[in-house]
Amino acid sequence: MREYRKRKSVGNFEPRRRGRKPLDIKLLQIWEFEWYKALHLLREGTQLPPDPNFVVVNERETKAQLQWWKSASYKDILGEMQPGVPPEFDELPETERERAKVRWTMSEWKWLKDFAENQRESEISALEHWLKPRITPSMRGRREIWATASESKASIKAVGRACEKWRLLPDVRSRHVAVFADHVQANIEKFQRMKADTRYPGPHADDSRLDYLARGLAAVMVGASPITAIHRLRLMRHEPGGPEWVEKRSYVDGKGKPDEVPAHCGCWRCELQASRRYWRTLRSVQEGL
Ligand SMILES: [Zn+2]
């Protein structure tokens, strides 16, 4: 109260709006993207959803590679690889040296052929796996973790246990993103409140749930209100005047030619869509359209 009076006497008093500092949309977007990738990795085993055109382009490429590996000769696989110069075999009597060298070269060739065959097998199995990804037990495990964490009625204890499992997923550990599970655990009450809100999407709108939680958790990271941030990010403008709008930029490329970047929205969602257009173009080029 004393502070109030003091401020008022200064003249330019503005009511204190605790916890209502302006939202930094750019910073929120950065965190939203990080959370989106972390949650998508948890749910699907990949940080971003696959692009259908990327998949088609690469599927064709993969099938062509598979065909190559299946019909390749040893020479094709080994390329320039061949046995080196055999040792002199000085320790043997002179009459046996030549034969020893031939034996040595033959055993080297056998080694190289085994090497090529191993190479062929591992390439074929990797390519076949890419073409037909199976739902592995680890995939089921990660779906269960996501289902529990994103379930609005799951108890704090159940969500805490899901976070424990989440942080131990091998790809989460190898990508050093276990910290996201820790953040959920450290802010578990806020996380539960987000899901208790009536605007939390239903279980059949799983992608919307992922967006909602990524936005809400981004807000937690910057100390903003999750519900406000979810709302603002959802309604963000992607046109001129939007917070991420980039004006047309002219520049000179490496070969000294003038070029320009058209005006665009630079947010991660629009950038992702732009990369999808790239794969769509590549696909139509491949198909000769
Ligand atoms: Zn945008």
How close is the Cα of 30 to the center of ligand 1, in Å? 12
Predicted local confidence at residue 253, as pLDDT: 81
Q: Given phi > 0 = left and psi -120 to 50 = alpha, else beta, which region is 256?
A: left
Query: 29 alpha carbon to ligand 1 midpoint, in Å?
Result: 10
From the CA of 257, how far away is ligand 1's center (Å)?
29
- How far, in Å, from the CA of 211 to the mean position of ligand 1? 14
pLDDT given at position 46: 83
CA of 128 to the centre of ligand 1 (A): 36
For residues 66 and 127, the answer to whether their CB atoms sit within 8 Å is: yes
Residue 183 Cα to ligand 1 midpoint, Å, equals 26
Please give the average pLDDT of every successive group of 10 residues along the chain, which has 289 residues.
42 49 86 94 86 79 88 86 83 89 88 87 82 73 95 97 95 88 96 97 94 96 93 94 90 84 90 81 75
- Distance from Cα 68 to the centre of ligand 1, integer Å: 41
Q: What distance in angstroms lies between residue 142's CA and the mean position of ligand 1's atoms?
A: 30
Separation of CA 215 and ligand 1 centre (Å): 15
Residue 40 CA to ligand 1 centre (angstroms): 19
Task: Provide the token pair at 192.
Answer: 């539960």
Q: What is the CA(244)–ligand 1 centre distance, in A?
A: 7
What pLDDT does 12 receive?
44
* pLDDT score recorded for residue 145: 97
Q: How far is the CA of 194 from the centre of ligand 1 (A)?
A: 24
Ligand 1 centre to CA of 107 (Å) is 62
Query: How remote is the CA of residue 59 from the centroid of ligand 1, in Å?
Result: 29
Q: Which of 173, 233, 215, 164 lies closest to 34, judged by CA?
A: 215
pLDDT digits (tens, 9 = 90+) for 170-212: 888 888 889 999 999 999 999 999 999 999 999 899 999 999 9
CA of 127 from ligand 1 middle (Å) equals 35
3-state secondary structure the chain: CHHHHHHHHHCCCCCCCCCCCCCCHHHHHHHHHHHHHHHHHHHHCCCCCCCHHHHHHHHHHHHHHHHHHHHCCHHHHHCCCCCCCCCCCCCCCHHHHHHHHHHHHHHHHHHHHHHHHHHHHHHHHHHHHHHCCCCCHHHHHHHHHHHHHHCCCCCHHHHHHHHHHHHHCHHHHHCCCHHHHHHHHHCHHHHHHHHHCCCCCCCCCHHHHHHHHHHHHHHHHCCCCHHHHHHHHHCCCCCCCCCCEECCEEEECCCCCEEEECCEECCHHHHHHHHHHHHHHHHHHHCCC
Tell me the CA–centroid distance for residue 289 and ligand 1, in Å. 29
